[in-house]
Amino acid sequence: MLLVLLAACAGASDEPVGESPVVILADDGNILVYDPAEGATLALTDDAGPDRIYSQPTWSPDGSQVAFVASAALPEPGVQASAPAVRVGLEAQAVTGAIHITDADGTDTVVVPTPFVAFYLYWSPDGATLAFLGNDIAAGRQGLAMIDVAAGTARRVDDGQPYYFAWSPESDRLLVHARNEALYYLDPDGSQTSIDQEPGVFSAPHWQGSTQLYPTRGDDGQTLGVYEEDGTLRRPSVTPELGVAFGLSPAEDRLAYLQLSVDASPFRLGTLVVDEAGETMEIASGVAAFFWSPSGERLLYLTPAGADADLPLQWNLWDGANTTSFEQHLPTLTFVQQYLPFFGQYANSLTFFSPDETRFTFSGTIPERGEGIWVQPIDGAPAELIAPGRFSTWAP
């Protein structure tokens, strides 16, 4: 494996930026792991090119392993019209695919051939199973498959178009929202238990501890409900007229949601609201995405930096009382195409925060400062450029 020191990288700092590593999808298409303490990167791959495409680096829940997709041809960007908004998506063109699972230090790599090329990875909380979504040519729609990590084998489990899900905290089943019309629990063997509710207009459900979150539709319209693990409605939260994007804090005490605007666009979905014990606070308007910190004490959200244009974008951090806004940046195409439109699903499976929540990572260009992978201190100090790259995410 290739070790590359980043001391010459513009904006690099001699100060450690956290205790856990950052995984990077590099500009050349390879997968790297950045060690903040050493200021160095380890190349997990070195053969990316037109015939070998790597994507979707995803940390295991304990941060000891990284999984990523290897495909045989470059996917072509397209536009997917799907409620609640038109989304930029990917239509995979590769004929063959595999998922690599490797230790964070680059050792003990296992390559698992997959029945279709994956475009999204999501580890079970116990790290024993890796679920993934892809375009299943055999089924003619998106497919869900699972990898038994210990055995290194993959199998088809379910399909649907579109398809969103959340792992149970016990890693024994999924909460699924499929085809914009069905809610059900899915066991790893493929058996389903239907939820007798009509789903509202949303994408990914959420499941934290004993709490589940998803909207349903009834005679009085759409209600975003907070549910017990047995399906009992703990309390309704909001009745959005249009679609809603939402996320439950890891501590289960705060609910954030985006009330979509009539004129919603991919960069301006709507108003961000936080609900705590039934008390609501409007945080910002024109929000494109949001992510809770690991403790649930902070909320990171993305907005256009100007009132009239979608770009550049700006990260903002709400700490429960105050908001800090950071430098404007132009996001990478990888982030805009693959991650931003589906942020609710990715919020289930990755984090941008360092474990101590003092910093977060993102990719893009800060005008007059550089382009690549950045680490942003939450105290408002200037972001540090740590490496060239298209996407990054922090180990738990």
DSSP string computed for 11-56? T--SS---SS-EEEE-TTS-EEEEETTTTEEEES----BTTBEEEE
Q: What is the pLDDT of residues 195-205, one digit of tens each?
A: 999 999 899 99
Q: What is the pLDDT of residues 246-267, one digit of tens each?
A: 999 999 999 999 989 988 989 9
Q: Tell me how far apart the alpha carbons of residues 179 and 195 are, in angstroms, rounded to a whole number.
A: 14
More confident residue, 82 or 218: 218
Mean pLDDT of all residues in the chain? 89
What residues have CB less than 8 Å from 23, skipping those under 6 apart?
A: 31, 32, 33, 34, 57, 59, 66, 392, 393, 395
Q: Tell me how far apart the alpha carbons of residues 338 and 75 are, in angstroms, rounded to a whole number.
A: 11
Q: What is the pLDDT of residues 123-157, one digit of tens each?
A: 999 999 999 999 998 888 899 999 999 999 999 99
pLDDT of residue 95: 59
Taking the model in full, what pTM does it have?
A: 0.89
Residue pair 225/233 in contact by the 8 Å Cβ criterion: yes
334-353 burial, b at 16+ Cβ within 10 Å, e below that, comes to: bbbbbbbbbbbbbbbbbbbb
